[in-house]
Structure 1
């Protein structure tokens, strides 16, 4: 029989970080995949607070990681730590860069490179899916299915968005031939 584990504070923070992060990716995906959502205020509202949600996701991820580092007494001088937690550490490093450059000054200074840097958010999305599946496998709590479903829904929306954008570019190229 399956037994659900209790939800730890670290996992709650991780889930809230995931949810905040998904809210940063959601508006563009909604506008492209479901154009009718442009009439609603949801994508506009999410876009308006995208940076704040990203910073919130970073802070929550920091809390998630900090609690687990203390709880598990991780040794960062041991290479084994990095092999075990590569997805979480990589995602967190990406979040550091994204959070540090989520301000107007960085946008002005980095110009086009700011957009390139913030494309790393999509790599973080796939790393998070790997992280959640790897670390939560066999340690199910009530939020585990929600986290897995949420990250895979946003990945499907993102891939659908990219497909539709590529189709649109392809049709635009055909018009000019």
Structure 2
């Protein structure tokens, strides 16, 4: 039978950070995967507050990391620390970059590169899945299944979104190929 541990403050902060992060990913995924939801309030509100939710996710992740660094007395000069916590450290570095550039000034200065930089959020999504699996596999608390279900649902929505976008591009390419072929036949 499953036995759940009590969730520590660090785990609760990690779960809240993950939840805020998931809310930043949902608007685009919901709009593409479920087109009728485009005009409903949920994606519109989430899209409106996406930057604030991302910064909140970063601050909660910072609290999560701070508590665990102090609790475990981590030594960042020891390479073993990076070996053990590579997913968490990598995800936190991505969150730091995204939070630091989540402002109008960065959007103006970085232009197209801002969009490319913020594509790192999808790498963070997969790193978080690895992080949760690796760190929580044998010490589940009541937030662990919620985190896993939320993140897996988001990953499935993201992969479905990417597939639908790929299909749309393929259809457009096929149409342009057919149009080009018709023009050659007419000439």
Q: TM-score, normalised by structure 1?
A: 0.99
Larger Rg: 2
**CA distance in structure 1 between the aligned counterparts of 2:50 and 2:110, rounded to whole angstroms:** 19
Give the match for residue 36 of structure 1. Answer: 36
Aligned residues: 177
Give the match for residue 55 of structure 1. Answer: 55
**CA distance in structure 2 between the aligned counterparts of 1:107 and 1:39, rounded to whole angstroms:** 26
Deviation at 1:41, TM superposition (A): 1.4
Superimposed CA distance per residue, residues 127-174 of structure 1 (whole angstroms, 9 cap, x where no aligned partner): 000000100011011010000111111000000000000000000111
Give the match for residue 91 of structure 1. Answer: 91
**CA distance in structure 2 between the aligned counterparts of 1:4 and 1:23, rounded to whole angstroms:** 26
* Aligned-CA RMSD value: 0.6
SS of the residue corresponding to residue 172 of structure 2 reads helix
Q: Does residue 111 of structure 1 match 2:100?
A: no
Give the match for residue 154 of structure 2. Answer: 154
Deviation at 1:3, TM superposition (A): 2.0
Give the match for residue 164 of structure 1. Answer: 164
**Structure 2 portions without partners, runs of 5+:** 178-187
SS of the residue corresponding to residue 85 of structure 1 reads helix
Give the match for residue 144 of structure 1. Answer: 144
Structure 1 range deviating more: 63-72 or 1-10? 1-10
Give the match for residue 122 of structure 1. Answer: 122
Deviation at 1:39, TM superposition (A): 2.5
Q: TM-score, normalised by structure 2?
A: 0.94
Deviation at 1:4, TM superposition (A): 1.1
Give the match for residue 19 of structure 2. Answer: 19
